[in-house]
Amino acid sequence: MRLTVLGCAGSFPGPDSAASGYLVQAEDADGRTWTVLLDLGNGALSALQKFGDPTRLDAIGLSHLHADHMADMVVLNVLRRYHPSGPCDPVTVHGPTGTAERLAQMSGKDPATSTDGQFDVVEWQEGSPVTVGPLVLVPVAVEHPIPAFGIRVTGPSDADPSRTVTLAYTGDTDACAGLDTLAAGADLLLSEAAYLEGRDEALRGVHLTGRRAGEAAARGEVGQLVLTHIPAWNDPAETLAEAAAVYTGPIALAHPGAVHTL
């Protein structure tokens, strides 16, 4: 299983990165590559064209419905619907309650931009697994101002396909029981860390700090921690230091184009 970072900027695109977007890929026993897209925020479609193929997605999982995690879904629809080789077959989009209505709202009233023909929307059911080839996605409800899910993805190890590994993606969340469920035993925790200790203490129930992400990684005994969703006005080194103070395993900062193998 491989994780490719498309965009990792927090809450809005930054000068060096699109907003949230991640590719998860793995091969099955026949050698076929399966591709799941997790979130597609502002600007992430550009990176998807560089690091993947927007016409060959096997499933899309949306953690929640804030624009920085799904705004480019509307223009992904345009790319797939009006491709010179003809419209793509619909791809299944898994998301929270209201996903279909949110996509319709963002696409507007022009029939030419309707997303009806490209996306088959299925709402997440807490804890219910979704199988996509060799990958299994399990949504876990987390704490955010709107309905939001983290996603655990299990699949074959890139180094040893006979071994199963787990990627846990937090989406947007503060510390909560769901976060601990996500992180427990994960080989890689891809964790948002939009807030800073001290500066953002009064803002709870929205985002993690680097320290709270590190604490979740430590409690879950994860194999490695990748910090993402860091806004342009934050110093990533400060976020990294917060996490490293409480988690002693390998830590990396997400950056566009980075590939993490599990």
Q: Beta strand 130-132 with 164-169: parallel, antiparallel or unpaired?
A: unpaired
The fraction of the chain above a pLDDT of 90, given in percent, is: 94
How high is the pLDDT of residue 109? 87
The pLDDT assigned to 201 comes to 87
CA distance 164 to 182: 16
For the stretch 60-92, pLDDT in tens is 999 999 999 999 999 999 999 999 999 999 999
pLDDT in tens, 207-231: 999 999 999 999 999 999 999 999 9
Q: At residue 32, does pLDDT exceed 90? A: yes
